[in-house]
Structure 1
């Protein structure tokens, strides 16, 4: 059985840890509120922008000839993996990294063996994980969450788009955690480039016929040329905002559980402490009684 001093030291240590986890939970909750507002405000805009592009570009030659729609034989792959800069957020980072690795194994195993899979890491945890596994990692955007803004994310999107157009990459995939609520994050994998055409579906056929009723100002070509790159940038920005909100939700949940676990440990340790102290007092009393009886017998 541990000594009283050792038990007291453990209780003090767990108390300090519990105070830290409580503080981290409160900080994560405050950040989550702001991050949740940001993603809920952007989602309708991103969805409407995508619908507008689908409606306007259905059947339009300019859209079909866009360099962002060119489908090529897949030799070089870029994976944009969005994780966090810090840990202590449960399985948040692990889930995104596992999803990216599964995607590589299932779809791009031959390219990975040839060393033609590159990772664009948004978040330090993803960069570190893929560097340990020997992948070529672009770490330019690992500090994006330090000053999260559309301007910073736009640079990452533009680099990926320029690489696709120049032929440096034949496909660009996006892996991130989608925010559902504070306790639930859903890992999403999306093909960013080339843009997947769904013009054969009934919805898009209807959009193609209704597109004839539009009057374009400026020209249809200018609108589509502007819309496609903007939609791709918004797609990446939405993924980063989703991941940011999901990270704070995961950290808040993880710290809440850690605080509860610390409380359970403290209960168990206090019980051990009281039992040990009671045993020590009983032993001391027995020693005193034994000593008194020995003195009485000697007298």
Structure 2
């Protein structure tokens, strides 16, 4: 009977775990809907703003974009990693760690690489592998454009002052609840339009004020929007990954509970059968 008691305790424990994982799944599903709507609404704006900036930049001299367009020989690189503050989201955070290691080994093996971490999980792991210059874990407490803009301004100052020759963002792009795609995007210097030239901008446009002034005004806004979009993408991906992970955990717990119930019933049936056999055997012995 001690064995049966142990199995009952395990069944009870797994049932409690199922309740927790099921509740976490529902919470993440509710948060995912809001985060998904936010990133879906923002992507067209961010994409159009980047396209406009690249098209305008293509018609100007290489130095017209200011300090953020200057291309320098790459010696020092800053990778901005966007992860979560909490776990229980499958391979969401580990995929960023793997992508950072892959990027360093393949692109910047002979360069000095520093990490600017957004999110506790990524910072905790990557700080053991690379130099961590800063960690911003409180951004998710109040995820607004204004708060992200402050981080973007700090990154922009790093590049303008020559502390780094390239800054890239590593984050998970949201595709759907079950799929998150690790991305590495160049943040600074501003990436010129691929194959673009002066013909990229409609010649019928009338610019007021000048194109140079428009570009210089758009660059900070575009960079802040790019970082905000990346964090929003990662935020939606986190809830999608956690919802999927908790769904799988609940299913696995249910399968384990069913197996234990079957084992418990078999053991209980065997115990009852043994008791009956002992009673029958005792009665036969008395009759003899």
Which string of whole-angstrom CA distances, capped at 9 and with x for unpartnered residues, describes residues 115-159 of structure 1?
x311111111100011222x2213441221122111221111111
Q: How far 1:62 moved relative to its partner?
A: 7.6
Q: Superposed, which structure 2 residues align to 1:128-207 within 5 Å?
A: 128-133=124-129, 135-198=130-193, 201=195, 204-207=197-200
| Residue 25 of structure 2 is aligned to residue 12 of structure 1 | no
Which string of whole-angstrom CA distances, capped at 9 and with x for unpartnered residues, describes residues 209-246 of structure 1?
x2x43222233332111101111111111110000111
Secondary structure of 1:213's counterpart equals coil
Q: How far 1:63 moved relative to its partner?
A: 6.0
Question: Quick check: 45-54 or 120-129, which moved more?
Answer: 45-54
Instruction: Report the TM-score when normalising by structure 1.
Output: 0.91
State whether residues 183 and 249 of structure 1, in contact with CA within 8 Å, keep that contact through their aligned partners in structure 2.
yes
Unaligned runs of 5+ in 2: none
- Aligned counterpart for 1:226 among listed residues 217, 222, 227: 217
- Aligned counterpart for 1:124 among listed residues 120, 124, 133: 120
Query: When you count helix as a share of all residues, which structure comes out higher?
Result: 1
Q: How far 1:14 moved relative to its partner?
A: 0.6
Secondary structure of 1:61's counterpart equals coil
Cα separation, 1, equivalents of 2:137 and 2:8: 42
| Residue 261 of structure 2 is aligned to residue 259 of structure 1 | no
Which string of whole-angstrom CA distances, capped at 9 and with x for unpartnered residues, describes residues 27-75 of structure 1?
0000000000110111011011112212323222386452111111211
Unaligned runs of 5+ in 1: none
Cα separation, 2, equivalents of 1:60 and 1:233: 22
State whether residues 90 and 241 of structure 2, in contact with CA within 8 Å, keep that contact through their aligned partners in structure 1.
yes
Q: Superposed, which structure 2 residues align to 1:1-299 within 5 Å?
A: 3-61=3-61, 64-111=64-111, 116-133=112-129, 135-198=130-193, 201=195, 204-208=197-201, 210=202, 212-297=203-288
Structure 1 stretches of 4+ with a deviation exceeding 3 A read 61-65
Secondary structure of 1:90's counterpart equals coil
Q: How far 1:292 moved relative to its partner?
A: 2.1
Cα separation, 2, equivalents of 1:9 and 1:195: 60
Cα separation, 2, equivalents of 1:197 and 1:32: 34
State whether residues 69 and 190 of structure 2, in contact with CA within 8 Å, keep that contact through their aligned partners in structure 1.
yes
State whether residues 58 and 192 of structure 2, in contact with CA within 8 Å, keep that contact through their aligned partners in structure 1.
no
State whether residues 124 and 142 of structure 1, in contact with CA within 8 Å, keep that contact through their aligned partners in structure 2.
yes
Instruction: Report the TM-score when normalising by structure 2.
Output: 0.95
State whether residues 55 and 193 of structure 2, in contact with CA within 8 Å, keep that contact through their aligned partners in structure 1.
no
Cα separation, 2, equivalents of 1:67 and 1:14: 58
Q: CA-atom RMSD, angstroms?
A: 1.7
State whether residues 62 and 221 of structure 1, in contact with CA within 8 Å, keep that contact through their aligned partners in structure 2.
no
Q: May I ask how many residue pairs the two structures share in their alignment?
A: 288
